[in-house]
Amino acid sequence: MRTVAIAGVGLIGGSFGLALRRAGFDGPILGVSSPGAIREALALGAIDKGVPLEEAAARADLIYLSQTIERILETIRSLGPLVRPGCLVTDAGSTKLRIVEEARRSLPPGAFLGGHPMAGKETRGAATAEASLFEGRTYVLTPAGETPATLEFRTWLDRIGAIPVVMEAAAHDRVVALTSHLPQLASTALGALLAGRLDEADRRIAGPGLKDMTRLALSSYDIWRDILATNPAPIAAALDAYIEELRRLRAGLEAPSMRESFDQAAALALSLRRQ
């Protein structure tokens, strides 16, 4: 791997460039992004040069797609006729099935490896990128044949401190529907409901618990639109199951089963904190 191109040098893409550098990668890192993002990423040292996608495809051994999901899908289609033999295309999109399917249609066999780093911050943009973003964080990879390029990419993931977990794209999408997309919508629904029900005085009564439960509600729809659009069936199933669980609690507000629900929920919450 002598030349790397990063398409979309925001928080994830910028951090990937910084992490590679810190881990000892000394080849050129090219950036494909908007002029503003390229400026930020250059200033930070996350990339060496901004280039058009065509130039990136002509030069890079690894093309890292860290754009929005719709842009990743478009870039994969554009890369179809451009990608060089032996080049590995990988992505960091939050849903995997549509992207893996698009890559299967548009790219040569073995040229694509789907990825989803479980890393992020509440901020966006290369300006807040950091070399340590992937350290100790799970990095989902969809199954792919072992080629020299995939093996080398995994070596670099190890070097930047990520913890790879191989998972089928459909299974990934079902799990993140539960662990990420459902919590987002549960928070958004709570915020949207209370927006219409609490006056100024009522809001003064809100405690820290409600702040926790509405932190995700601060997320921009611009990020979530693509996620919701590319994972509708698992999200709908997760919402149905959640509504059913709420109905069960609603029916048993004073029933002995309520203790079980609290105990199960506390055990899950604890297990998430032990990792």
List binders of its own copies among 255-274 (CB under 8 A): 258-273
Give the pair of three-digit tokens for residue 167: 């998972």
Residue placing its CB nearer to its own copies in the complex, 81 or 205:
205
The site string for its own copies over 72-111 (x = CB under 8 A, - otherwise) reads ----------------------------------------
Q: What is the rounded distance in angstroms from the CA atom of residue 136 to the CA atom of residue 164?
A: 10
Stretch that binds its own copies, among 2-10, 56-64, 150-158, 249-257 (CB under 8 A): 249-257
Task: Choose one: 3-11, 25-33, 49-57, 167-175; the region binding its own copies (CB under 8 A).
Answer: 167-175
Sheet harboring 163-166: ordered strands across? 115-117, 138-141, 163-166
Length of the chain in terms of residues written: 275
Out of 96, 109, 140, 149, point to the residue binding its own copies (CB under 8 A): 140
d(CA 110, CA 103): 10
What's the distance, Cα to Cα, between the start and end of the chain in Å? Answer: 33
Give 33 or 66: the residue with its C-beta nearer to its own copies. 66
Cβ within 8 Å of residue 77, ≥6 positions away: 102, 106
Nearest distance in Å: CB 268, its own copies:
4
Site string for its own copies, 209-228 (x = CB under 8 A): xxxxxxxxxxxxx--xx--x
Angle at which helices 257-273 and 232-251 pack, to 10 degrees?
A: 140
| Nearest of 81, 20, 5, 113 to residue 50 by alpha carbon | 5
Here's the x/- map for its own copies, 184-203, by CB under 8 A: it reads as: xxxxxxxxxxxxxxx--xxx
Q: Which stretch binds its own copies (CB under 8 A): 27-35, 124-132, 142-150, 204-212?
A: 204-212
Q: Does 170 bind its own copies (CB under 8 A)?
A: no
Strands 115-117 and 138-141: antiparallel
Piece of 34-42, 81-89, 103-111, 229-237 that binds its own copies (CB under 8 A): 229-237
d(CA 86, CA 150): 10
Q: Which residue, 151 or 243, is less far from its own copies as judged by CB?
A: 243
Amino acid at 179: T
Binding its own copies by CB under 8 A: which of 26, 85, 146, 254?
A: 254
Q: Is 175 in the site for its own copies (CB under 8 A)?
A: yes
